[in-house]
Structure 1
């Protein structure tokens, strides 16, 4: 009996590290030999690239609902931050001047970029209130540089702030066995975007934001130097949303609220919060939680339920609903 093989549809492939090392050696001005090692596989895949004298990080973006060339938004902004001396892990220019290249993977085009290596350890591994305060001040500086980069004529919108609506259908499917969550999340998916659009105004500034800043997305060295990293969610958003993303991430990891409070205090010394921003903290904390669970659901076909290793669906459900009700969103 002859068995007919069916060609599988691939959601998320793993690119061979040696292949990527060869591509880097061919495309970039680096000293050989060049070796590669898969560091972790997640929302995007990250590799260690070691040359004769330098270590780099190489990111291979996951194929998702965005076009592969959208990475240019992040990379061009990071290149600007490098020029302005901001401490971020920034992309390396290839010999032809480009900041990224694309691979024809089984699931479709995937973008690839080589970055400076971020020295130190994650803030979550070296928690310190003074460090959090300095971090907040630097984060505010990044927001101001974003305004500078965009220019005075640029009109910021809430399009990216409500883009999570694309992931809601996956969330409703994800909660098939949780009928109460499915019902309530469907309601919030309508009311939350409208609220986020309604609060626009001069006292609720929008800018270029990291959009996923948390205690693992900054490295700190022993002498206190910092490097911001993982800007793959970069986009226009409320600046206060970006701040509350860190506050919420600190809670998600189970750390003391003092680090989030210090982060806010440091930020406020560089770009003072408006009264309306302060009044909207709970809204933005809710928005972060809802975005996360919806994004997690959308990505689960590629990366599984890995995000749940810190907090489970019960915790997330309680967090979201306990804030949605007082805000009149549920």
Structure 2
């Protein structure tokens, strides 16, 4: 009987996957915090949430901290320095915000290599208390508004006489292609969002000729981005969207966020009242409230579409495409944007 000789099995090399968003192991975070920061005793870490950026709770023998690992996006990795430097200034001014902790080498952040490329990491003071959204109160909403206006005034002082860049006001245009791809199976949205994007950008450009002041803005302030302690201390947090923008846009971001969470409009109104005790709105700002509310909603949906490749379409789990589309379009028409 003839002997059958088998050819040796040749394995095909595995294709290297393209990674959009890796998750760093908490033990790695703990080890890096121990190595880089002047923490006490044993350091532990665990992942709080994986989202637009990943946040870890870090704890040594005495203190609790938050560590943020920025997601790799179209933005340069070192843009995080803008936020961290401003927060360091606020710390020096005695303003209550969750600010970055300096490492042993004096830096406010460091970078690591990951499967998708360089990512920035920073350690922050833990904000005391609880989210305002979990303890709604009209009086506290007014105080938060006043505190937010003080942050804007600090930003004007920090920035000095240099002109503000308006690019951030319409940076959403970088995410519009992702939004149109996101709604590929919704013909009306495909048509309408392309029109709104172009017209909204032009309206925001036109505002530069009106009395609508710009400043250093949080850019994502809402009822979950402020903590209130038992003794009433207000601490602002999550400044990872920090940039130069219309200050009234920043105010209406909060008002819209209040609506997004389904809270009574009275809390947004109280926030505005408190804000104006520190920095009164101009008439042009008041006249453009609806435009800024629309801009916030459009920025959000476009940003979530861009982020969906990293964190999934579940970013729309709180409010769906129908809700957001109705909100945006019902306001775009009276504003002449659709």
Give the TM-score normalised by the residue count of structure 2.
0.96
| Residue 18 of structure 1 pairs with residue 27 of structure 2 | yes
Superposed CA RMSD:
0.9
Shift of 1:80: 0.4
Shift of 1:201: 3.8
CA contact (8 A) 2:210 2:284 kept: no
Q: Which residue of 2 aligns with 1:325?
A: 333
Distance across 2 between alignment mates of 1:241 and 1:86: 22
What's the secondary structure of 2:208's corresponding residue?
coil
Distance across 2 between alignment mates of 1:53 and 1:288: 39
What's the secondary structure of 2:47's corresponding residue?
strand
CA contact (8 A) 2:308 2:315 kept: no
Correspondent of 2:150 among 141, 145, 155: 141
Shift of 1:222: 1.8
| Residue 58 of structure 1 pairs with residue 64 of structure 2 | no
Q: Which residue of 1 aligns with 2:172?
A: 164
| Residue 80 of structure 1 pairs with residue 101 of structure 2 | no
Distance across 2 between alignment mates of 1:161 and 1:306: 26
Distance across 1 between alignment mates of 2:210 and 2:93: 27
| Residue 28 of structure 1 pairs with residue 28 of structure 2 | no
Shift of 1:202: 5.9
Shift of 1:283: 0.1
Cα deviation 1:109-129 (Å, max 9, x = unaligned): 000000000111111110111
Distance across 1 between alignment mates of 2:74 and 2:109: 19
Query: How many residue pairs are counted as aligned between the two chains?
Result: 329
What's the secondary structure of 1:259's corresponding residue?
helix
Shift of 1:221: 1.3
Instruction: Tell which structure's C-alpha radius of gyration is larger.
Output: 2
| Residue 286 of structure 1 pairs with residue 286 of structure 2 | no
Q: Which runs of 5+ in 1 are unaligned?
A: none
What's the secondary structure of 1:49's corresponding residue?
strand
Q: Which residue of 2 aligns with 1:227?
A: 235
CA contact (8 A) 2:217 2:244 kept: yes
| Residue 122 of structure 1 pairs with residue 131 of structure 2 | yes
CA contact (8 A) 2:217 2:247 kept: yes
Correspondent of 1:301 among 309, 314, 329: 309
Q: Which runs of 5+ in 2 are unaligned?
A: 1-8
What's the secondary structure of 2:88's corresponding residue?
helix
Distance across 2 between alignment mates of 1:129 and 1:312: 28
Cα deviation 1:42-94 (Å, max 9, x = unaligned): 00000011111111100000000001100000000000000001110000001
Cα deviation 1:132-188 (Å, max 9, x = unaligned): 00000000000000000001x210121111111000000000000111011000001
Distance across 2 between alignment mates of 1:41 and 1:142: 28
Shift of 1:3: 5.1
| Residue 261 of structure 1 pairs with residue 265 of structure 2 | no
| Residue 190 of structure 1 pairs with residue 195 of structure 2 | no
| Residue 199 of structure 1 pairs with residue 207 of structure 2 | yes
Distance across 2 between alignment mates of 1:141 and 1:3: 62
Shift of 1:30: 1.0
What's the secondary structure of 1:216's corresponding residue?
coil
Distance across 1 between alignment mates of 2:125 and 2:313: 29
What's the secondary structure of 2:175's corresponding residue?
helix
What's the secondary structure of 1:162's corresponding residue?
helix
Correspondent of 2:55 among 25, 46, 50: 46
Q: Which residue of 1 aligns with 2:225?
A: 217
Shift of 1:304: 1.1
Shift of 1:305: 2.3
Correspondent of 1:71 among 76, 80, 83: 80
Shift of 1:284: 0.1
What's the secondary structure of 1:254's corresponding residue?
coil
Distance across 1 between alignment mates of 2:225 and 2:287: 26
Correspondent of 2:113 among 78, 83, 104: 104
